[in-house]
Amino acid sequence: MRSAAALRIFLFGVALAWPVAGSTQATSPAAGPQRALPLDQLRSGSSFMSSDLRAMQADDFANPAMLWAERGAAAWARPVGAAGRSCASCHQDAQMSMRGVAARYPRFDTGTKTLVNLEGRVNLCRTAQQGAAALAYESEELLALTAHIARASRGSPLAVRIDGPAQEHFERGRILFSTRIGQMNLACMHCHDWNAGRRLLSETISQGHPNAYPAYRLEWQSTGSLHRRLRACFFGVRAEMPLPGAPELVDLELFLMWRAQGLPIESPGVRR
């Protein structure tokens, strides 16, 4: 443990925050799921960053994640697989055809009867439409394609559907968000609902929103998916980490997207 003292203070902070937030937590089932964070209190992770990092994210020439988006543009135009088609063969210019798409995922796919996120959706087209092998989660090419698609949605407010067949996935994600996990016995909500804005070791805890991914993280020296970031949080509380793309992470992603609904997409983002 790097700094036991800081951690103790932090855990004390959690204990202090508990009763206050607990009183606002009551939800009436009849009214449907209530927002944990009202729209006017939603703050993107970038608003917790230094002005240097914010400037880096905002400037396409300085933002290192744009390199992945550019590689994604090349992959988008490259014919692959038995069908010899590129993404562009069917979808033309992604900046037009994919506008707003990233804001609507994860989404229930009626064909496969699964909840798919953007990565999963790309792989459905790889296999079913191009006759190519699915791309590995966290592979450079999948990160590149998703960065390219997501940037077409920059500024689009997150708006996922949680009704119909998506509902059970949403509920699972919601339960995971408030379940204590790991040796530190903390739930996502202990940090991201109740302690946003506080310092944890060298970092400021944000509200934990998914609207900037894939993102370049200085700590990774690379671009990574939302699931890579989520795994870092599992690791942080010393919990077993689900694999990237695991169904429970897609369920959690749906809950996070709903929780952040209305927040504009910033992908590809820059994070510490």
Shortest distance (Å) from residue 230 CB to ligand HEC? 5
Min. distance of Cβ 21 from ligand HEC in angstroms? 14
By beta-carbon proximity to ligand HEC, the closer residue of 129 and 222 is 129
Give the CB-nearest residue to ligand HEC: 45
> Could you check whether the bond before residue 165 is cis, i.e. omega within 30 degrees of 0?
no
Whether 233 is catalytic is yes
Least distance to ligand HEC, CB of residue 30, Å: 27
**Which residue has tokens 């459905």?**
124
Cβ-based nearer residue to ligand HEC, 19 or 111: 111
Contacting residues for 32 by C-beta, under 8 A, at least 6 apart:
none
Which of 87, 125, 188, 233 is the catalytic position? 233
| Cβ-based nearer residue to ligand HEC, 172 or 190 | 190
Q: Closer CB to ligand HEC, residue 5 or residue 31?
A: 5
The whole-angstrom separation of Cα 183 and Cα 40 is 34
Distance, in Å, from the CA atom of 85 to the CA atom of 105, rounded to the nearest integer, reads 24
How far apart CA 86 and CA 76 sit, in angstroms, is 6
Q: Which residues contact ligand HEC (rule: CB under 6 A)? A: 45, 85, 87, 89-91, 101, 111, 121-122, 125-126, 129-130, 145, 149, 177, 186, 188, 190-192, 200, 203, 205-206, 208-210, 212, 229-230, 233-234, 236-237, 252, 256, 271
CA distance 1 to 99: 44
We find the least distance from the C-beta atom of residue 24 to ligand HEC, in angstroms, to be 19
Alpha-helix residue ranges (DSSP H) falling in 202-267: 226-236, 247-259
Name residue 43's amino acid.
R
Helix (H, G, I), strand (E, B) or coil at 8: helix
Active site residues: 233
